[in-house]
Amino acid sequence: MSAGLGEAPDLAELQVRRLGPVGRFLARRPAVGDAALIACFAAWALFTGVGADSMYALHVHLGDDTVLRIQTASLVLTAAGCALLVARRRRPVVVAAGMAVLGLGALALTGAPSGFDLGLALALHAVAVSRRPLVTWAVFVPAVGAMLVAARILPLPLQVGAVMSGLSPDSSTGPDPLLGGWQPIALPVLVLALLAVAVGTGVRSRRLHLARIVEAAEAVAREAEQRTRLAEAAERARIAREMHDVVAHSISVMVALGGGASMALDWAPDRARLALDELVGTGRTALADMRRVLGVLHDDPPADTADPADPAAAEPSVAPLPGIRDLAALLDRFRLAGLPVRATGIADPRLARVDATLQLAVHRIVQEALTNALRHAPGTAAVEVAIRLLPGRMEVVVADQGPGVPVERTPGSGRGVLGMRERAAAFGGTVDAGPHGRGWRVRAELPWDDEEDDA
């Protein structure tokens, strides 16, 4: 949970923690806080150990040489404690065990923890912050227990000093210069350790709570980003589908009209002129459709910047969507392009009550099916377009009788059939496309309820 020495917490965690200027500084630079804690420990250890009044008492009773050896050993223990605290974040359990051992040494030398009560508390705090409570108490009990037992059973400092001076422990006389008894020594160790564990456990609980908040926020952000990407992909697919419908249909019709006009130019100039006029009209319609489709990608140009020489440019960029009412004009364009289209059911008055979006889907499905017939079944004897309104559903069928002239089979991209199926699926419908007799048939079923019939 906690970062290593000198390792700053994640920015997301800092954003949800309410910290003041000093707290933010230390959170981003934990090495500074660790250095301050080590300095405090060293100062406290030197003050309560080497520089304590007990050293003066030992000096009076045992002499300079013995006290110097005790002070040197205390300095070594303090330096070792400082070195251990450097690894407090990375190896808290090891540091706690080491602090307990050094504290036992300090008790044996001076009869007091000599600052290692604070060192052990700092180590236990790190354990409580970074480990589960079970681990924390598994470290707490032996470490603190050893210090308490040592304070109770270890010989008093004058006895230790006598041994270091080569004397019998019983040869030292006079009252012990320390507080006397083991309770005043053990109590600070126990209180500091319990306080450190309590604070560390609270910090751990808060960090776990903040981590859950950050994780939930990140999950929401990921979900929102995924929804945005899906929406963008759906929009790209919709635009690609619309562009395919417009471009494929228009180009196929324009190619057929251009070819027919070229063939009829010599023997039927009037029909050729009619085909060319229709070709121009189809191009203008395609341009207007493309502008409408792409209108979602850019703002409409100002009216005064439109090209007056381009009739399509004068049309509004947002025009009524094509629907079933426009099927007659659509079929006329295909007839002029040479496709013998016969239609049934497109004039049913009930179709006027069909929803506009469903009408657009029907129009595009018929348009795509006729475009495929124009491309892949040239010279076909007939193309049947039928719309039937059945109970609860609408059936749209476009079927040709196969090419009337030899044609080279070229595989299509499949985008047109896929687009028809996607349009139908958006309404809960289906599209079947495949061979039918000598030709090809597209059959779409779309859900539809006539409200007046229901009434």
Residue 418 belongs to a domain: yes
Is 425's pLDDT higher than 50? yes
* Average pLDDT over every residue of 15-41: 72
Rounded Cα distance, 150 and 102, in Å: 12
Stronger pLDDT, 398 or 381, i.e. the higher one:
398
Q: Look-up: residue for tokens 């041994």? A: 163
Stronger pLDDT, 155 or 369, i.e. the higher one:
369
Which residue segment(s) compose the domain that 335 sits in?
326-404+411-455
Q: What is the pLDDT of residue 51?
A: 52
Q: What angle do CA 422, 425, 429 make, to 5 degrees?
A: 130
* Average pLDDT over every residue of 176-182: 49
For the CA atoms of the chain, what is the radius of gyration? 45
CB neighbour list of residue 287: distance below 8 Å, 6 or more residues apart: 312
In this structure, of 162-171, 223-232, 410-419, the range with the lowest mean pLDDT score is: 162-171
Q: How many CB atoms lie within 10 A of CB 1?
A: 12
User: Hey, is 309 helix, strand or coil?
Assistant: coil
* Residue 173 and residue 52 share a domain: yes
Residue 315 belongs to a domain: no
* Average pLDDT over every residue of 1-19: 50
* Average pLDDT over every residue of 216-235: 86
Residue 382 belongs to a domain: yes
Is 160's pLDDT higher than 90? no
Is 403's pLDDT higher than 80? yes
Q: What is the pLDDT of residue 43?
A: 86
Amino acid at 293: V
* Average pLDDT over every residue of 181-199: 86
Q: What is the pLDDT of residue 109?
A: 77
Residue 416 belongs to a domain: yes
* Residue 221 and residue 330 share a domain: no
Last residue of a domain, one of 210, 226, 242: 226
pLDDT tens digits, 282-341: 777 777 777 766 665 554 444 443 444 444 444 444 456 788 999 999 898 888 888 899
pLDDT tens digits, 53-106: 455 555 555 556 666 777 788 888 888 888 998 988 889 999 999 999 998 888
Residue 257 belongs to a domain: no
Percent of the chain predicted with pLDDT > 90: 26
Is 417's pLDDT higher than 90? no
Q: Give CA 139 to chain center in angstroms.
A: 38
Q: What is the pLDDT of residue 410?
A: 60
Rounded Cα distance, 431 and 442, in Å: 7
Main-chain phi, psi angles of 449, to 5 degrees: -125, 125
Is 213's pLDDT higher than 50? yes
Mean model confidence pLDDT for the chain: 77
Residue 448 belongs to a domain: yes
Q: What's the CATH number where 423 sits?
A: 3.30.565.10
The overall longest dimension of the chain from CA atoms, in Å, is: 142
In this structure, of 341-345, 391-395, 416-420, the range with the lowest mean pLDDT score is: 416-420
Quick one: which H or E segment has residue 102? Answer: helix 92-110
Residue 438 belongs to a domain: yes
* Residue 162 and residue 23 share a domain: yes
Residue 341 token pair: 């289209």
* Residue 334 and residue 212 share a domain: no
By CB neighbour count within 10 A (0-12 exposed, 13-18 middle, 19+ buried), where does 317 fall? middle
Percent of the chain predicted with pLDDT > 70: 73
Q: What total number of domains does the chain contain?
A: 2
* Residue 335 and residue 221 share a domain: no
In this structure, of 162-166, 204-208, 401-405, the range with the lowest mean pLDDT score is: 162-166
Is 127's pLDDT higher than 70? yes
CA dihedral 413, 417, 423, 428 (to 10 degrees): -130
* Residue 160 and residue 40 share a domain: yes
DSSP one-letter code for 414: S
pLDDT tens digits, 275-288: 777 778 777 777 77
Q: What is the pLDDT of residue 299?
A: 46
User: Given strand 383-390, what is the order of strands in its sheet?
Assistant: 341-344, 383-390, 393-400, 439-447, 430-436
Is 447's pLDDT higher than 90? yes
* Residue 331 and residue 215 share a domain: no
Last residue of a domain, one of 226, 242, 276: 226
pLDDT tens digits, 349-364: 999 889 888 998 999 8
Q: Note whether 38 and 61 are within 8 A (CB).
A: no
Instruction: Write down the pTM of the prediction.
Output: 0.49
Last residue of a domain, one of 226, 259, 292: 226
Q: What is the pLDDT of residue 191?
A: 93
pLDDT grade, residue 155 (50/70/90)? low
Rounded Cα distance, 131 and 207, in Å: 12
In this structure, of 11-20, 52-61, 345-354, the range with the lowest mean pLDDT score is: 52-61
Q: 44-48, 184-188, 256-260, 444-448: which has the highest mean pLDDT?
A: 444-448
Positive/negative CA dihedral, 41, 45, 51, 52: positive
pLDDT tens digits, 226-240: 988 888 887 777 777
Residue 270 belongs to a domain: no
